[in-house]
Structure 1
Amino acid sequence: MADTPIAVTGCTGRLGGRIARRLAAQGVSQRLIVRDAKRAPSLPGAEVHVATYRNRDALARALEGVRTALFVSAKEAPTRLEEHFAFIETAAAVGVETLVYTSFYGAAPNATFTFARDHWATEQRLREQRFSSVMLRDNLYLDFLPMMAGEDGVLRGPAEHGRVAAVAQDDIADVATAVLLNPREHRGRTYSLTGPESLTLDEVAAVLSRKLGRPIRYRAESIEEAYRSRARYGAEQWQVDAWVSTYTAIAAGELADVTTDVERVAGHAPMSLETLPLT
């Protein structure tokens, strides 16, 4: 058990909330850093601190005396890197020793998935600071795959016949919890977190059809078709680019490789799409 509180960001979200609940179950003292105190989970041993990544004064107070912090990546936005850099600089200034960062699988400056480039830039800034860091490079969320199908039961995008080794959020949470409980053992490590198999979207559709009891199919789009089919949402260009590049990253083979990092760190095999509970 940690002798100082573990700071947890993103606890109002699906992944950060899972991690916070796991830490609470272990009896760990936490500081939950949130934008809105009303949305913070009520957990034993947890204090709630209101701060944004760019509110350096409030963030510094929330992190004061903390040795280890979970750094959940900020909401996707054009200002995301500014927020990340502000958080990192504040954490370094108040003496945080280890940051556990939720990055993305295959983060690189030339990654096909546009947001993976932001994650790479964040990792680089983390490495420039004096504290240790642990990178959790999560593949596409397994939990997200059922939501990729439209109301018509069609999963459409320019993924061609590429494969994705998607990982369950529960498995990511188990890894993150293990790291946060024993940060010294993991400092400086980068873990690429995947599920146990790599599936084409045709195979994803077949599994979902069986599990949901209704027909789901995959239709490969051209890149031009993908932009046209998403134009109806009225999203900004950077957001549409990200949506489309999720699929083109699959087509490019950048999300295909399976690793054993979940089992190595969490101590159990990761869930597959077949075994993932669907609600």
Structure 2
Amino acid sequence: MKQQETFLVTGATGYTAGYAIPALLEKGVKVRALVHTIDDRIKKLDQPGVEIVQGDLLDFHSISRAMKGITAVYYIYPILTPGILTGTAYLIQAAREEGVRNIVNMSQISARREAKSNAAQDHWMAERMLDLSGITVTHIRPTFFAEWLIYSDSIKKSNTVVLPFGEGRYAPIAAEDQGRVIASLLVNPEEHAGKIYPLFGPVEYNVHDLANILSEELEREITYQDISIDTYKEEAPKQGYHPHFVQHISSVAQDCRDGLFAGTNTAVKDITGREPVGIREFIRKHLAYFQ
């Protein structure tokens, strides 16, 4: 690998990119960080070896400009926003024109042909488009992020975890583990060409278990408010969530109840050489979000 190689990281102000970027810098490559909006979040990206560019995955010309001189790409399309198939087509064409070597694609564990979630089915189709691109591609399919626990203020404000996941089990995976996986896959494409990696944390829980662990770690009682999927469908739009996102979460909530998000494996350690972060360690690292 040459020192002058530059890797494009999309979604650069997001959770996984926030860990992938320093991991890439440690591996001796430069990073071009693609952001949708120039705001205060870019301050954390302002460091040696990082070039910040503004662009939109649904604007072919801005993606084409961002792709100039790029060796490899971390591609993540925002789950809140419709349009992944158009964005993927634009990314592929821009990457082909610039001779990009490899792409690491953030998919999801629910991505499959028969998915009821429109977003999950589109993620599966985006995988197939990337597979046909002629570019070396590796897909990652994480279960639910550990960061789900800090996405809303319900723990901080009302000591509750409000989710429609029923008794469904999953092994929460931290964004920092995914960031290290992403960096490793980007710089070692031959080893991982064409592979799909489901990614899990070390231990499987249901949300009741997670609430109990939160109670112990935060030294106050946290309860799981297990709402029905129908209640979620009614309440989420009132909080301003896009219909695309509400349809997705409603569908994957059922997937979680049906066991699709369950399981563990050794992929994080196999790829990075490090065990994934456990949920207690995650909570301790992010105490400020819960106080």
Give the TM-score normalised by structure 1.
0.90
Q: Which amino acid aligns with 1:103?
A: S
Deviation of 1:100 after TM superposition, in Å, equals: 0.6
- 1:248 alignment partner in structure 2: 254
- 1:71 alignment partner in structure 2: 75
What is the distance in 2 between the residues matched to 1:199 and 1:74?
26
Per-residue CA distance 1:29-88 (angstroms, 9 max, x = gap): 222223345654112223333322233233223212322111122352122332222212
What is the distance in 1 between the residues matched to 2:243 and 2:34?
30
- Asked if 1:43 corresponds to 2:43, the answer is no
CA contact (8 A) 2:110 2:252 kept: no
Q: Which amino acid aligns with 2:273?
A: G
**Match runs of 1:147-162 below 5 Å:** 147=151, 150=154, 151-162=157-168
**Match runs of 1:101-250 below 5 Å:** 101-147=105-151, 150=154, 151-250=157-256
Q: Which amino acid aligns with 2:52?
A: V
CA contact (8 A) 2:207 2:224 kept: yes
Pair 1:97–1:140, CA change in 2 (3 A): same
Pair 1:138–1:274, CA change in 2 (3 A): same
- 1:100 alignment partner in structure 2: 104
What is the distance in 2 between the residues matched to 1:135 and 1:70?
10
What is the distance in 2 between the residues matched to 1:149 and 1:203?
19
Per-residue CA distance 1:172-216 (angstroms, 9 max, x = gap): 011111112222221111111100111011101101111122211
How much identity, in percent, do the aligned residues show?
26
Pair 1:237–1:71, CA change in 2 (3 A): closer
Deviation of 1:112 after TM superposition, in Å, equals: 4.7
Q: Which amino acid aligns with 1:247?
A: A
- 1:5 alignment partner in structure 2: 6
* SS at structure 2 position matched to 1:199: coil
CA contact (8 A) 1:8 1:30 kept: yes
What is the distance in 2 between the residues matched to 1:59 and 1:146?
31
- 1:89 alignment partner in structure 2: 93
Q: Which amino acid aligns with 2:30?
A: S
- 2:32 alignment partner in structure 1: 31
What is the distance in 1 between the residues matched to 2:235 and 2:75?
34
Pair 1:110–1:29, CA change in 2 (3 A): same
What is the distance in 1 between the residues matched to 2:53 and 2:237?
39
Q: Which amino acid aligns with 1:278?
A: H
Give the TM-score normalised by structure 2.
0.87
- 1:267 alignment partner in structure 2: 273
Deviation of 1:127 after TM superposition, in Å, equals: 0.9
Pair 1:114–1:273, CA change in 2 (3 A): farther
What is the distance in 1 between the residues matched to 2:227 and 2:37?
40
Structure 2 residue ranges without an equivalent (≥5): none
Deviation of 1:97 after TM superposition, in Å, equals: 2.0
Q: Which amino acid aligns with 1:135?
A: H
Pair 1:68–1:210, CA change in 2 (3 A): same
What is the distance in 2 between the residues matched to 1:114 and 1:149?
27
What is the distance in 2 between the residues matched to 1:111 and 1:272?
29
- Asked if 1:15 corresponds to 2:16, the answer is yes
Per-residue CA distance 1:144-170 (angstroms, 9 max, x = gap): 224457232222333221101210001
* SS at structure 1 position matched to 2:139: strand
Structure 1 residue ranges without an equivalent (≥5): none
Q: Which amino acid aligns with 1:155?
A: V
Q: After the TM superposition, which of the residue ranges 17-26 and 221-230 deviates more from structure 2?
A: 221-230
Per-residue CA distance 1:235-275 (angstroms, 9 max, x = gap): 34322222333422210101001111101101111111122
CA contact (8 A) 1:157 1:244 kept: no
